[in-house]
């Protein structure tokens, strides 16, 4: 089966795409706007990207919206980002739910304002039976923080040492039950992980583009997916073609 909008066979599509939505601030500064205008434009773009993800038939999307390190930004910007999260839930929830999007949150919810916590929990509850797209929103998320809390819970549960395995650790992460990301897209050209899905990304493919997040459009998304479809994922093994050609066996 081929996805009509894509010309990529379904089995070559990533099951799980994760995105580091970076470059909102620079997008705004370039236009002489305040940084928060960049975050607003980024939010508009997110709506389009979610819609394209559903259309492309991708089952899991994870978006990095606020990191545990982003608290270090000026208070007005932090407050603005919190307000944007609230506004997005207020304005978009019904529509997202109608489109079959299941919302999940990854990160430390308990460190957010109580009003935001209850909005997030309501959104998760309302959409929990939707199954077209699972959308993980990484808000107040940090990969190291996630691993630290997993270790704490493993110890608290008294898990015997012999039972601590890759699979067990994965089950203690915020992403329990979600397949690892196949493709991670980072906009704005930075060549770093910035504490995103550091455990889950062990064998993810990366697509990094200089485009700032508000300008990352459907065409470029399609290009990222096509690039992914042509990658040779070896997972530490040897590509079958190389085996055939190169060996004397």
Residues annotated catalytic, as ranges: 22, 70
Which of 170, 194 has the CB closer to ligand IPE?
194
Of 227, 232, 228, whose CA–CA distance to 242 is shortest?
232
Give the E-state strand segments of 142-248 in sequence order: 183-186, 205-208
The partner in contact with residue 139, picked from ligand IPE, Mg ion, none with C-beta cut-offs of 5 to 8 angstroms by kind, is none
Q: Is 206 helix (H, G, I), strand (E, B) or coil?
A: strand
Task: Note whether 46 and 21 are within 8 A (CB).
Answer: yes
* DSSP secondary structure string for all residues of 220-243: HHHHHHHHHHT----TTS--HHHH
Among 3, 47, 70, 164, binds ligand IPE (CB under 6 A): 70
Q: Is 22 in the site for Mg ion (CB under 5 A)?
A: yes
Which of 24, 53 has the CB closer to ligand IPE?
24
Residues 32-61 that bind ligand IPE (CB under 6 A): none
Residue whose Cβ sits closest to ligand IPE: 25
**Structure token pair of residue 213:** 């997040």
Which of 206, 231 has the CB closer to ligand IPE?
206
Q: Choose one: 15-23, 116-124, 163-171, 202-210; the region binding ligand IPE (CB under 6 A).
A: 15-23
Separation CA 222–CA 50 (nearest Å): 13
Among 56, 66, 174, 207, binds ligand IPE (CB under 6 A): 66
Q: Is 24 in the site for ligand IPE (CB under 6 A)?
A: yes
Of 88, 90, 91, 69, whose CA–CA distance to 78 is shortest?
69
Residues of this chain that interact with ligand IPE (CB under 6 A) are 20-26, 64-67, 70, 81, 188, 190, 192, 194
């Amino acid at each position: 089966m081929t996805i009509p909008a894509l010309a990529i066979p379904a089995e070559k599509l990533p099951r799980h795409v994760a995105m580091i939505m970076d470059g909102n601030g620079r997008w705004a500064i370039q236009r002489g706007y305040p940084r928060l205008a960049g975050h607003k434009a980024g939010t508009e773009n997110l709506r389009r990207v979610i819609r394209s993800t559903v259309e492309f038939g991708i089952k899991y999307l994870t978006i990095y919206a606020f990191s545990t390190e982003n608290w270090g930004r000026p208070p007005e910007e932090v407050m603005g980002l919190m307000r944007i999260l609230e506004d997005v839930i207020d304005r978009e929830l019904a529509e997202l739910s109608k489109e079959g999007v299941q919302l999940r949150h990854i990160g430390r919810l308990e460190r957010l304002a109580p009003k935001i916590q209850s909005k997030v929990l309501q959104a998760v509850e309302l959409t929990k039976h939707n199954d077209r797209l699972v959308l993980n929103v990484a808000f107040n998320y940090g990969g190291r923080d996630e691993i630290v809390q997993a270790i704490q819970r493993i110890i608290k549960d008294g898990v015997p040492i012999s039972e601590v395995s890759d699979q067990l650790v994965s089950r203690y992460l915020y992403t329990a039950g979600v397949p690892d990301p196949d493709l991670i897209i980072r906009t704005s050209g930075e060549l770093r992980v910035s504490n995103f899905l550091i455990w889950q990304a062990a064998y993810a493919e990366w697509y990094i583009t200089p485009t700032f997040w508000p300008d990352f459009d459907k065409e470029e998304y399609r290009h990222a997916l096509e690039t992914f479809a042509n990658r040779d994922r070896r997972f530490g093994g040897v590509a079958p073609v190389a085996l055939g050609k190169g060996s004397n066996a």
